[in-house]
């Protein structure tokens, strides 16, 4: 399972769409069509995520720009 952490930005949708296409053609730990699950950054904590044993974790960049705190 690929875990995606959504930091409340519109780019998350693009990441998930890209991963969905990628897993159809590239095996993840020997399997095609790996499961992709998405959580908002305040829906799951590190311990809960670790219990799910994801093969990969993708963290979206979040809103704003690196030089300006967006408060997320």
The 10s digit of each residue's pLDDT in 31-51 is 899 999 999 999 999 999 999
pLDDT of residue 71: 61
- Residue 68's pLDDT band, with cuts at 50, 70 and 90, is confident
- Phi and psi, residue 4, nearest 5°: -115, 125
Average pLDDT, stretch 22-34? 90
Please list the residues that pair with 6 across neighbouring strands: 40
pLDDT of residue 29: 84
Average pLDDT over the chain, rounded to an integer: 90
Q: Rounded to two decimals, what is the model's pTM?
A: 0.83
Report how far residue 5's alpha carbon sits from residue 2's, in angstroms, rounded to the nearest whole number: 10
């Amino acid at each position: 399972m690929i875990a995606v952490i959504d930091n409340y930005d519109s780019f998350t949708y693009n990441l998930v769409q890209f991963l969905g296409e990628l897993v159809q053609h590239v095996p993840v730990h020997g399997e095609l069509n790996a499961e992709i699950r998405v959580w908002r950054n305040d829906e799951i904590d590190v311990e809960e995520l670790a219990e799910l044993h994801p093969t990969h974790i993708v963290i979206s960049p979040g809103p704003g720009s690196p030089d300006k705190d967006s408060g997320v």
